[in-house]
Amino acid sequence: MTANRILLQHKYANVIAAFAKRQHIGLREAMDVFYKSYTYQDMRVGVSDMHCRSDEYLAEELTLEKNNQT
């Protein structure tokens, strides 16, 4: 399923904000991590309707992904 492009952009912003808050980092750094992540790629192409999940869930996925890359 593909989401409305505008709604998807809003979702990205919410996930980035939630991730920044969770990691205690700035929005710019959070955006950099997000747009380089598999989580973003999955949301962008609609894998498993990732965009339908909550912002906090997606921020947690992003945190787990970031921690596994280090």
Q: Is the pTM of this model over 0.85?
A: yes
Q: pLDDT tier at 1 (50, 70, 90 boundaries)?
A: low
Residue 56 contacts residue 18 (beta carbons within 8 Å): yes
Q: Average per-residue pLDDT in the chain?
A: 91
The burial class, CB within 10 Å (0-12 / 13-18 / 19+), for 1 is exposed
| pLDDT beyond 90 at 49 | no
pLDDT band at 70 (very low <50, low <70, confident <90, very high): low
Angle, in degrees to the nearest 10, between helices 5-23 and 27-35:
120
Cα 59–Cα 62–Cα 65 angle in degrees, nearest 5: 155
Q: How confident is the model at residue 2 (pLDDT cuts 50, 70, 90)?
A: low
Dig out the tokens for 11 from the structure.
Answer: 């979702």
